[in-house]
Chain A
Amino acid sequence: MQRAALTSALCYRDAKAALNFLEAAFGFELTMLIEDNDGKLAHAEMGFGDSLIMIGNEWSQMHKSPASIDGFNTQTVHIHLDADIDAHCERARAAGFEILMEPEDQFYGDRTYRCRDPEGHFWTVGAPIRSVSVDEAEATSGLKVVKGWA
């Protein structure tokens, strides 16, 4: 099986609950689950498009869910969609995710929204809706594109 070079691994207090709410909200599919002798989750992977994400417990003193550290996040996972982002947002809302920013068109040509899952992980979701030139992006944002604008 072809693997992407980078994979995010997220920690949850209740990783099994996360498997359910991530499937309900985003349509992620469980592709691997390993349980130990006590029936506790040891390792899990979910697939989405050509990527996967690992879902685990707070497996060491230094691994925490946002739910255990006052809601702070130290990284977020971004979902790239080639589909109806507004419908995606409604599905996440229906699954109990808090919508922090409703779907909105961005200067760089994507429509995006931002949400928070039941344990406090932030997720950003974006779908391309039009292509934007460097000149237009710089003019509308006031930023300077240094490198890497397709």
Chain B
Amino acid sequence: MTSKVLVALRIKAAPLRVFEVFTADIGAWWKPNALFSFTPRSPGVLAFEGVSEWSRLVERLPSGKVFEIGPVRVWDPGRRLVFGWRQASFAPDMDTEVEVRFEPVGDETRVTVEHRGWDTVPIEHVARHRFPDTVFLQRHAEWWRALLTNLASRTAMDIKGSAREGDA
């Protein structure tokens, strides 16, 4: 799969913790971007349904309907997560994939998101907003960077929360 964006960020927590926040708390740190909505009725709230391989990433829409963004292809807690990523407007032969890697660096985790396969979505397709290829990918990369920053903030909140519970 070509036509990809890769974004990486260090987060002050252990890989397993970051993996847990990424998956279990995605509804809290995920912020929608109007340019990249999954369905015309978005935004909803994202969630991983199931907690292992064969689970799926969904968007629970305000209407109560559930849209499947993609199946989980690799679920390796603290190390690697791979899932499919489709918008409702994609034709059957269009598919993109997100791989997230969690690597320990000292007492931090380097989280790398690789979103690939945009070559399967033609530039004239509605999902691409008629942006030239590199502009579209740049906007997408900036969104992922903002999302990882949210993930970092959420992880920091979560650690403070756990510390308080530990103190009690």
Contacts and interface: CB of A to CB of B under 8 A. Distances in A.
Do chains A and B stick together as partners? yes
Given A1-B145, A37-B119, A30 B6 contact: yes
A36 to B, nearest CB: 6
Contacts of B3: 35-37, 39
Interface stretch (B27-35, B55-63, B130-138): B130-138
Interface residues of A, number: 14
B149 A29 contact: no
Interface string B47-89: 0000000000000000000000000000000000000000000
Interface in A19-54: 29-39, 42-43
A36 B8 contact: no
B5 interface: yes
Nearest to A1: B149
Contact of A30 (B8, B118, B149): B8
Interface residues of B, number: 20
Contacts of B133: 36-37, 42
A33 B113 CA distance: 10
A43 B5 CA distance: 9
A31 B137 contact: no
B24 interface: no
Given A34-B6, A37-B3, 14 more contacts: A1-B149, A29-B10, A30-B6, A30-B8, A31-B145, A32-B5, A32-B7, A32-B145, A35-B3, A35-B5, A35-B6, A42-B133, A42-B138, A43-B141
19 contacts: A1-B149, A32-B5, A32-B6, A32-B7, A33-B7, A34-B5, A34-B137, A34-B138, A35-B2, A36-B2, A36-B3, A36-B133, A37-B119, A37-B133, A38-B2, A39-B2, A42-B137, A43-B134, A43-B138
